[in-house]
Structure 1
Amino acid sequence: MATSGLLSGNPASLCFRRAVLSRTAPPRASAASSSSTELGFVTSQLTGLRISVDRCVFPQPYRATPAPLLLPVARRICPFTGKKANKANKVSFSNHKTKKLQFVNLQYKKIWWEAGKRYVKLRLSTKALKTIEKNGLDAVAKKAGIDLRKE
């Protein structure tokens, strides 16, 4: 007894079915006509074979399960400027190119927030730090849409 996979069904919803092929006596005319009407592709090539097809079993639909509690991961993106890693090539002496990431120079800094009369600990890029020194923390945070009261 040999097994092989057959595709059946309409083209919109194709299903992989497992067909079991077994050698039998050549079918009579009535059996051949009924099998050829059931499976349009059964022709004289399969004469003497009995085909039994298992029912198609569809996988269960995807159910969203609640994700376990995960601690937030600090992403390598500056919240003030939006700077993030740059994809580049590392070029060797033999001119062999290898992909690499050029990360942003992020720093943890405690910056005095004048409006809140306290220090705010931020992780920001050195470019954002220079911009804050030039324009002030409130102006840069307002432009970036960051609420400093939460931090």
Structure 2
Amino acid sequence: MRQGSPGGRASRQQTLLGNFTRWEPVSGERASQLARAGRTPSELGTMRFEGGAACGGGAARRATLYFECGEQDALLEVTEPETCVYEAWMSTPLACSLALLREKVATLEEASAAASLEFRPSDELRALLAAPE
């Protein structure tokens, strides 16, 4: 996992946040903390990255990538809760259970209707929603 930052030139400087080491489930306590913060991590678990570039006092950077249900693949947020420790959130359809996906779409449809806006899911999403459970 790399963190990019624009340099003074046309190129980008990159910092290695870590190399993939393992998949890890989200613990019950951590899931509760995330829920209180309004985040819903996927049942997929998290990807852990360790052994990144040296940072500050020489410690190696490390990162955790969380997944949440979303219509398309997108990097949503990257934070640094501790020095040299990063958390990133990615949305992807692969993180959706069909029931959760249907619930999210229903919420979007209701909000769109209340705001007099048209909500038009992609053809792929409509096909997925039409699938039997």
Q: Tell me which protein shows more strand as a share of its residues.
A: 2
TM-score by length of 2: 0.24
Which fold has the larger relative contact order, with Cα–Cα distance below 8 Å and residues 6 or more apart in sequence? 2
Structure possessing the higher radius of gyration over alpha carbons: 1
Quick check: which one's helix share is greater? 2
